[in-house]
Amino acid sequence: MRRRLTLLVAATTCLVLIAFLVPLAVLVRQVAADRAVSRATASLQSIVPLIGSSSDDVLALSAEGQPLPVSIFTPDGSVLGAPAGRTPAVRLASARTGAFVVATPAGREFVVPVVSTRGRYVIRTVVPDAELTRGVTRSWLVLAGLGLTLVAIGLLVADRLARSLVAPIAELAAVSHRLARAELSARASPAGPPEVREVAGALNHLAARIQDLLREEREQVADLSHRLRTPLTALRLEVESLRDTEEAARVAAAADSIERAVTVVIQQARRRGGERQACDATAVVTDRVAFWTVLAEDTDREVRRELPSAPLPVAISADELAAALDALLGNVFAHTPDGTALAVALTPRPGGGAVLTVSDHGPGFPARALDRGSSGSGSTGLGLDIARRAAETAGGSLRVEAAPGGGARVRVELGATAFTGA
């Protein structure tokens, strides 16, 4: 838009300047030619009164004192003043009356015949083409410089005007992108034309409304904690009444898992609103791998781990990262036979962040494994979707591919953040 406004002003200014400067340039050239003609006419007219009343010597001195070379052809055939031959115009003037002008290759030839008591005299002078255009080039250059200056000023004014129009629009675009990244505290400063200020106000109102809706959603989700406490408490009481110790432990673990899942959902809902989350990926992954290693031993699975010793700060909360890793490892345990080896690797990501890789030697994923709700093993198909959304929350991505030795490999890239503590 800024470029188009500048080009529009430039085109308009050029058209206006052409409409004025071209006629002015023609007028300057005409004035220069008229000035030269006037000088030549004045020189000839000053000699005409001397014909018949002055001697040839006086006429010669008068011709030599003119600014232009003047030749006087006498009746006896001699030439006074500037030497010159008898041109066709001079011969024509010897036979006719009245002054006239003839265009020649050397310029404009002015001839004035004068009849006196001593015979017919012919006064002649030539105005060169250079004299007809003297000063025209310099005047044209001045006009061109003036035109370029006016165009430059017009472009400068147009650029300032376009900037005053484009800058508020660019700010609106930046604010909209920030809102799209869940920075709901972003607001646009009303500036620019009234229409742009109105759009800024509408965008701010929309952002505030989104915050209100999310706040209401967070409160509604938070109510789940109160609604689920009673059934969970009743479930634990039932667990305590079971006589089978192993069965009681299994049901209690399931109840604890449900409570943890609900707690994570509530915490995630309460954190919505644009706050940046961060955690140490090394600590979180190490903790969760240690938890799953115990289960792996019960199912004769070999767990290979490649974890760094230094912290790796990533732009995601510890709960979300743990939930994503649990979903990936849960898929391995649920969809591969007992005894299938698996590997977990955490490496630094170029440019900051971390890369989490979970691989196994099982049958691999179906073609539509990344489609939300799709599964080839009778599950809900949401495990990979949880990991994908966690990766996108951290400014990264998730990729599913075949492992080199067979099986599946999930690669989760997590963006970096300024992590200052756990």
Q: Is 399 helix (H, G, I), strand (E, B) or coil?
A: strand
Q: Does 230 score more than 80 pLDDT?
A: no
pLDDT of residue 366: 58
Place of tokens 């030599």: 64
- 209 burial type by CB count under 10 A (0-12 exposed, 13-18 middle, 19+ buried): exposed
Q: Among 271, 24, 259, 9, which Cα is nearest to 153's?
A: 9
- At 338, give phi and psi (nearest 5°): -60, 145
Q: Taking the mean position of all CA atoms in its chain, how far away is CA 357? A: 37
The whole-number average pLDDT for the span 341-347 is: 92
Q: Among 396, 403, 404, which Cα is nearest to 412's?
A: 396
The whole-number average pLDDT for the span 146-151 is: 89
pLDDT of residue 316: 86
pLDDT bucket at 345, cuts 50 / 70 / 90 = very high
pLDDT of residue 422: 38
> How far, CA to CA in Å, does 65 sit from each of 44, 68, 77, 132?
12, 9, 22, 21
Q: Does 381 score more than 60 pLDDT?
A: no
Q: Tens digits of per-residue pLDDT, 79-124?
A: 888 888 888 888 888 877 788 888 888 888 888 898 887 888 888 8
> How far, CA to CA in Å, does 177 sit from each of 180, 207, 277, 373, 408?
5, 12, 19, 29, 35
pLDDT of residue 270: 57
Least confident of 31-35, 217-221, 291-295, 345-349: 217-221
Determine the Cα–Cα distance for residues 177 and 306; give it in Å rounded to an integer. Answer: 37
Q: Is 263 helix (H, G, I), strand (E, B) or coil?
A: helix
Domain spans, the chain: 2-136, 194-267, 276-414
pLDDT of residue 418: 52
Q: Does 344 score more than 70 pLDDT?
A: yes
- At 134, give phi and psi (nearest 5°): -65, 130
The whole-number average pLDDT for the span 276-300 is: 87
pLDDT bucket at 375, cuts 50 / 70 / 90 = very low
pLDDT of residue 411: 92
pLDDT of residue 283: 93
Q: Determine the CATH number of domain 194-267.
A: 1.10.287
AA identity, residue 204: N
What is the arrangement of strands in the sheet containing 70-73, beginning at the earlier edge strand?
A: 79-81, 70-73, 119-128, 107-116, 100-104
Q: Tens digits of per-residue pLDDT, 8-19?
A: 888 888 888 888
Say if CB 321 and CB 390 are below 8 A apart: yes
Helix 245-271 vs helix 194-240: crossing angle, to nearest 10: 170
pLDDT of residue 264: 66
Say if CB 75 and CB 121 are below 8 A apart: yes
Higher pLDDT among residues 308 and 268, named by residue: 308
What is the arrangement of strands in the sheet containing 397-402, beginning at the earlier edge strand?
A: 303-306, 342-348, 354-360, 408-414, 397-402
The chain-wide mean pLDDT, for the chain, equals 81
Q: Does 372 score more than 50 pLDDT?
A: no
Q: Determine the CATH number of domain 276-414.
A: 3.30.565.10
Q: Determine the CATH number of domain 2-136.
A: 3.30.450
pLDDT bucket at 315, cuts 50 / 70 / 90 = confident
Q: Among 185, 170, 77, which Cα is nearest to 122's?
A: 77
pLDDT bucket at 412, cuts 50 / 70 / 90 = very high
Place of tokens 């008229």: 34
Q: Which of 81-95, 267-281, 297-311, 351-365 has the highest mean pLDDT?
A: 297-311
Higher pLDDT among residues 381 and 34, named by residue: 34
